[in-house]
Amino acid sequence: MHTLNHPRKPLSALAMSFVLPGFGQLYNGEPNKAIWLFVAFAMLSIPGVAFVALYLAGYWMLPALLLSLVLTLSIWLYGIMDAWRTARRKQGYVKPGWQISGGYALIFLLCSLAQLSLIGYVREHLVQSFSIPSSSMEPSILPGDILFADMRYNCPGCKSAVKRGDIAIFVYPNDRTLNYIKRVIALPGDSVRIQGHAIWVNGKPLTVQEIQNGPAIQVTEAIEGRQWQVQWTQPDQQATGMEMVVPPGHAFVLGDNRNISKDSRLFGTVPLADIIGKARQIWFSKQPQAGIRWGRLGGVPD
């Protein structure tokens, strides 16, 4: 049953589109336009970011993220203005029976749940953002870096397994409310020997080059064709050594800033099941008490 003469209120249409793209169009009796606006906004703002993080090269990341942001905001603003203009024209409006307060509340709830579910799926299975608070991974990753982590990693059905040299994100064994980021040095069954600032995995040294730089030692390490830089800022405090075989189902991890890192030398090996992601690229970086490190944006840690 239809009720006649229910003119649309422009402010109501504007407010509804402000809180949810397409909601104002639904109020104006344009369900098809409402659906497409909502879908376009949701796809650009959530899976669109995941696509940029996972599939584009580092130098394309920042322009693509900015383009995605501009398009998302454009869709949102277009929806607001379109709802306002259309409502002003609809002074003689035939109101469908479903346009009641309960119907609007149900649609808003379903759309909100859809967005939250999409965000949860992307964060758990595709890509997640992590902020780095400490300097334990210098020089590869600096405090103030915010990076994307590939979550399609180390899981049933995933194509990417844990490899030596990966920068991995894992659940901290001593506090499962925290995530740590370290470099995977050895896998189950590998023998690890550390003496001073030298490391051997399965009897082969990781060190490729060592440079004394004032009180610090800068070391280039490599394994299985992968290479990265580590630093020992106080080498005289690392005189102790250790030797072990990594137990089944575990990985041995170290920070690249070896003197200050809390890693497997302190809390032991990490269960492979607790490794949840792999560092992919830096999408933002700000130096504490200073400005944005523009040169790091889009960078891929070694």
Per-residue confidence band for 2, with pLDDT thresholds at 50, 70 and 90? very low
Any domain includes 21: yes
Residue 5 lies in a domain: no
Q: Has residue 38 got a pLDDT over 80? A: yes
Do 109 and 206 sit in the same domain of this protein? no
136 located within any domain = yes
User: Are 182 and 90 members of one domain?
Assistant: no
User: Domain of 216: which CATH number?
Assistant: 2.10.109.10
186 shares its domain with 258? yes
**Is 290 found in the same domain as 261?**
yes
For Cα atoms 104, 19, 85, give the angle at the middle one, nearest 5 degrees: 85
- For residue 16, the enclosing domain spans 10-125
**pLDDT tens-digit series, residues 139-166:** 999 999 999 999 999 988 888 899 999 9
Domain annotation covers residue 210: yes
Give which of 204, 198, 203, 169 is closest to 184, Cα–Cα. 169
Q: Report the C-alpha gap between 15 and 72 in whole angstroms.
A: 18
Q: Nearest CA to 215 among 237, 235, 195?
A: 235
Task: Give residue 46's pLDDT band: very low, low, confident or very high (50, 70, 90).
Answer: confident
165 located within any domain: yes
Q: How confident is the model at residue 215, as a pLDDT?
A: 77
Residues 160 and 273 in one domain: yes
* pLDDT on residue 217: 86
Tokens of 173: 């064994």
Among 82, 97, 125, residue at a domain's last position = 125
In the chain, what percentage of residues exceed pLDDT 90?
Answer: 68
296 has pLDDT over 70: yes
What does the pLDDT read at residue 49?
87
Q: Let me know whether 184 and 109 are in one domain.
A: no
Q: How confident is the model over 181-190, as pLDDT tens digits?
A: 999 999 999 9
Give the span between the Cα atoms of 123 and 131, in whole angstroms: 14
* Nearest residue to 116 (alpha-carbon basis) of 20, 37, 31: 20
Among 125, 153, 187, identify where a domain stops.
125
Residue 107 included in any domain: yes
Structural domains in the chain (count): 2
| Domain end marker among 125, 155, 170 | 125
Residues 266 and 173 both lie in one domain: yes
Nearest to 61 by CA among 299, 225, 301, 248: 299
pLDDT band at 235 (very low <50, low <70, confident <90, very high): low
- Note whether 150 and 263 are same-domain residues: yes
222 shares its domain with 173: yes
Helical segments of the chain, H only: 10-19, 23-27, 31-45, 47-55, 58-89, 101-125, 264-267
54 vs 110, residue with greater confidence: 110
pLDDT grade, residue 179 (50/70/90)? very high
Give pLDDT tens digits for 192-227.
Answer: 999 888 899 999 999 998 888 777 889 999 999 999
- 91 and 35 in one domain? yes
Window from 230-234, 272-276, 292-296 with minimum mean pLDDT: 230-234
